[in-house]
Structure 1
Amino acid sequence: MTFLLLLAAGVLGGCIDRLDFFGDTQGGQLVIYGMVNDTDEVQRLEISRTNLQGFNPKGEDGASVTLLTQDGRRLRYTNTGNGEYQLAGFKGTPGQSYSIEVIIGKDLYESTVQTMPTILAVDSLEFRFGREMLSSEAEEGVFVVSATTNFQEGDNSGFFRWTAEETYQWQRTWLPCVGLCPPPPNPCYISDLMDPNRINLFDANSTRTRQTRQEIAKRAVDNSFIGIFYVSLKQHSITRDAFEYWRKIDLIVNNRGSLFDIPPAPVYGNITNKNNPDEIVLGFFEVARVRYTRKYVNPADVPFFLTRPCDIVVGKPAEDYAAECVQCEVRAKGRAWTTTAPEWWFKD
């Protein structure tokens, strides 16, 4: 049984969900995952191949990726490297249908046609701090994000999935100087998915309730909270096919290995090789309506002591400060980052 890390998170506003698969896969199997939504975000699709012995999938570059629309348009994606493909300047339309076409060498891969849902629900975002057992033997501070969702009168159907994304401000160290001094550096804005292996699903067809409340994400409290910390709740209104795909993924991710559990196995999506129908292709192409709900945390809201490694100390030379105090890339540790505040910063 191999461990497969399918997809890495992208930048906030265009995150491709990071998900851990547990299953019997073979080295070199093709993995395609992408989404088209109705926002102004850049639309993204990832192509990779599985590796044996638990290594991360290897990005597949050089493919031709085309979005096929209901009105007959063929829109080409741009390969940006490491298996990521982007389509800028396009957003989906609720009620319209889309599919994806991928050409790799002589092989033609196509998804089933997916129709974008028309409904959305209204989310209310909440958070709390507490102490819980996470990965260690001792209790530690945790930050928990929850959401209450209200469905409009008459909207007693539909399928939904939620993810939480974080963006926090990291103020870089700027030492005082005398005379003509450069301006202080812009802060870092560092983004990532929260609790990426948690899958939050709701089938509104299975209940008559107009409201649901659920815990969305949980993470340990660290010095990411010494500046403004934003949580972006991302609601996806998805198709039945996508709901069933994520439901199966959830069953595998939450399989704890009891005697009566279903053995882990790969989850097959909606993409096939037209030249070789017997090839097993992992991943999924989905379409979704998306709605963001955002809320920020002030440092004063945090009830725990936070270390501040980058505070200026009189007489401390610049070279004695940690690299994360001056370099966003070092602080981000592989997460998405920028020195420009997101357009919604303090506007939502």
Structure 2
Amino acid sequence: MKNMKGLSARIVRSFGLGLLLLGCVEPFEAEVADFQSVLVVEGNISDANEPYVITLSRTAPLDAKGATPERNAIVRVIDGEGASFTLTEFTPGKYLSNPLNFVGCAGKTYFLSVITSSNQRYKSEIVTLKPSPPIDSIYFEREIRLTDAGDSLDGVRIMVDAHDPLGTSVYYKYSWIETYEIRPHYPSFYEWDFSVTPAAFVRRNPEINLCFKTDSSRQVLITSTANLKADRVSEFEVNYVSTVSFRLKSRYSILVRQQTISEKSFRYWSEVKKTSESLGTLFDPQPYQLTGNVHNVDDPEEPVLGYFDASSVAQKRIFIDRKKDLHGLTYPGEPCISQLKTFSPREEGDVFKDEFNLFILWGYLIVDGEGALWAPPECADCRVHGVLERPSFWPDTP
């Protein structure tokens, strides 16, 4: 429910626009006094041996910067046999389970219990942790799309195939985590060391020519096979990756996670998807209608947003290498080509003084020859865009 504030703002703006189109001249303004802070619960447990995160927050007024974390709550997951597992708050409003103490089990039932710092008690409906069939394959194909401005956008669409021979899954929810290499346009292997006298030209340590960046999905990715003859997911697009960023410039990887959810959960996420993708007109469903499966124990009429769910996780990873896999894609012009500075110490005077000043301003010597070539950080230092630490699953890079 991270987009609640933005959705509300679009609804307010669209409502005002509708009045103007009908001939009204007085703009509609939301009454701040009418605002009601509502608890938002986000979280899912699975059978994966990993920490589970439950996020608690409160909706904020339109003029606020974001949702308010619900801090210092007592958060527990309780199974059908009465065993209770407490989650620990590791950042404001985010509560983490300990995989050494608790891992979900397919077929078992669970519910969420929350007691806020003001002693308000909340409880989710009982959910069953459904098993998930494996992912058959993840693959990609080139596709050129048009931007809102009408320009061509080259890239690849990433798709998933899966099937359940028992025909009991039916409702699927997907998410992904992508990781990609960042290689600067102008590698910089040397730097001046001004800690010694005279200053020395030394090899960089660590090197700054290969970094990594990781992002995760933010869209609601759901599909159903309820109206199909077989419980089979085919060519379901989970992501579109364009050539505009670093993602496809070197090596790209995506880990796709598949969950089997209940029909009720599917209906809830369908409404979330429609609301988040709508234009926010007067006739669209209001965000406060998106109540999930959590309620106030002492006040059932209190609106509570979000959904607590349990489902097995099937996952699969693929790598895409530009040199091996991406032939014929078009990439936009490289802005770094026009971002170089040349420098000749014989023309500029004192070598140490001038090179020191240029080093402070730019800092990245690319070529040392008759003159010197310098590039700005965003064109020569991968740390501007990512981190140096190589993921444990990343293959050796030549």
* TM-score scaled by length of structure 1: 0.79
**Cα pair 2:242 2:248 within 8 Å, conserved:** no
Q: Match of 1:122, as an amino acid?
A: I
- Secondary structure in 2 matching 1:242: helix
From 43, 47, 51, the counterpart of 1:38? 47
**Cα pair 2:7 2:287 within 8 Å, conserved:** no
State the distance in 2 between where 1:68 and 1:171 align. 47
From 71, 95, 99, the counterpart of 2:107? 95
**Cα pair 2:378 2:385 within 8 Å, conserved:** no
**Cα pair 2:161 2:232 within 8 Å, conserved:** yes
Alignment of 1:322-333 (within 5 A): 322=378, 325-327=381-383, 330-331=384-385
**Cα pair 1:232 1:294 within 8 Å, conserved:** yes
Per mean C-alpha deviation after superposition, the further-off stretch among 87-96 and 131-140 is 131-140
Cα displacement string for residues 53-73 of structure 1 (whole angstroms, at most 9, x for unaligned residues) = 274322222212111123322
**Cα pair 2:182 2:246 within 8 Å, conserved:** no
- Secondary structure in 2 matching 1:226: coil
How far is the alpha carbon of 1:131 from its aligned partner?
Answer: 1.9
How far is the alpha carbon of 1:124 from its aligned partner?
Answer: 1.2
Gaps of 5+ in 1: 8-18, 333-337
Q: Which residue is 1:321 aligned to?
A: 377
How far is the alpha carbon of 1:47 from its aligned partner?
Answer: 1.0
Matched, 1:62 2:72: yes
State the distance in 2 between where 1:240 and 1:312 align. 59
**Cα pair 1:200 1:216 within 8 Å, conserved:** no
State the distance in 2 between where 1:131 and 1:60 align. 43
- Secondary structure in 2 matching 1:250: helix
Matched, 1:5 2:3: yes
From 238, 247, 254, the counterpart of 1:216? 238
From 78, 90, 100, the counterpart of 2:88? 78
Cα displacement string for residues 307-337 of structure 1 (whole angstroms, at most 9, x for unaligned residues) = 385997313457x32298253xx525xxxxx
State the structure with more CA Rg: 2
How far is the alpha carbon of 1:42 from its aligned partner?
Answer: 1.5
Q: Match of 2:330, as an amino acid?
A: F
Q: Match of 1:144, as an amino acid?
A: R
Q: Which residue is 2:127 aligned to?
A: 114
Q: Which residue is 1:285 aligned to?
A: 308
State the distance in 2 between where 1:86 and 1:20 align. 28
Q: Taking structure 1 as reference, are residues 312 and 101 closer, same or farther at Cα in structure 2, changes over 3 Å only?
A: farther
Cα displacement string for residues 17-73 of structure 1 (whole angstroms, at most 9, x for unaligned residues) = xx9787799452111100101112221111111122274322222212111123322
**Cα pair 1:23 1:265 within 8 Å, conserved:** no
Q: Match of 2:219, as an amino acid?
A: N
Q: Taking structure 1 as reference, are residues 312 and 265 closer, same or farther at Cα in structure 2, changes over 3 Å only?
A: same
Q: Which residue is 2:177 aligned to?
A: 165
Q: Taking structure 1 as reference, are residues 135 and 232 closer, same or farther at Cα in structure 2, changes over 3 Å only?
A: farther
From 330, 354, 372, the counterpart of 1:304? 330
**Cα pair 1:66 1:74 within 8 Å, conserved:** yes
Q: Which residue is 2:222 aligned to?
A: 200
Q: Match of 2:366, as an amino acid?
A: V
Q: Taking structure 1 as reference, are residues 60 and 309 closer, same or farther at Cα in structure 2, changes over 3 Å only?
A: farther
Matched, 1:50 2:56: no
Q: Taking structure 1 as reference, are residues 69 and 229 closer, same or farther at Cα in structure 2, changes over 3 Å only?
A: same
Q: Which residue is 1:16 aligned to?
A: none
**Cα pair 1:231 1:296 within 8 Å, conserved:** yes
Matched, 1:139 2:152: yes
**Cα pair 2:138 2:316 within 8 Å, conserved:** yes
State the distance in 2 between where 1:133 and 1:126 align. 22
Per mean C-alpha deviation after superposition, the further-off stretch among 167-176 and 278-287 is 167-176
- Secondary structure in 2 matching 1:125: strand
State the distance in 2 between where 1:210 and 1:234 align. 18
Matched, 1:240 2:263: yes
State the distance in 1 between where 2:105 and 2:254 align. 26
Bigger proportion of residues as strand:
1
Q: CA RMSD in A?
A: 3.3
* TM-score scaled by length of structure 2: 0.70
**Cα pair 1:168 1:229 within 8 Å, conserved:** yes
Q: Which residue is 2:394 aligned to?
A: 345
State the distance in 2 between where 1:291 and 1:175 align. 42
**Cα pair 2:133 2:162 within 8 Å, conserved:** no
Give the paired residue count.
322
Q: Match of 1:151, as an amino acid?
A: D
Alignment of 1:123-138 (within 5 A): 123-138=136-151
**Cα pair 1:5 1:20 within 8 Å, conserved:** yes
Matched, 1:155 2:167: yes
Per mean C-alpha deviation after superposition, the further-off stretch among 74-83 and 157-166 is 157-166
Bigger proportion of residues as helix:
2
Q: Taking structure 1 as reference, are residues 148 and 118 closer, same or farther at Cα in structure 2, changes over 3 Å only?
A: closer
Per mean C-alpha deviation after superposition, the further-off stretch among 261-270 and 179-188 is 179-188
Q: Match of 2:394, as an amino acid?
A: W
State the distance in 1 between where 2:41 and 2:379 align. 36
Gaps of 5+ in 2: 13-33, 192-200, 338-363
- Secondary structure in 1 matching 2:122: strand
Cα displacement string for residues 239-268 of structure 1 (whole angstroms, at most 9, x for unaligned residues) = 233112112222323445789x65444311
State the distance in 1 between where 2:55 and 2:136 align. 29
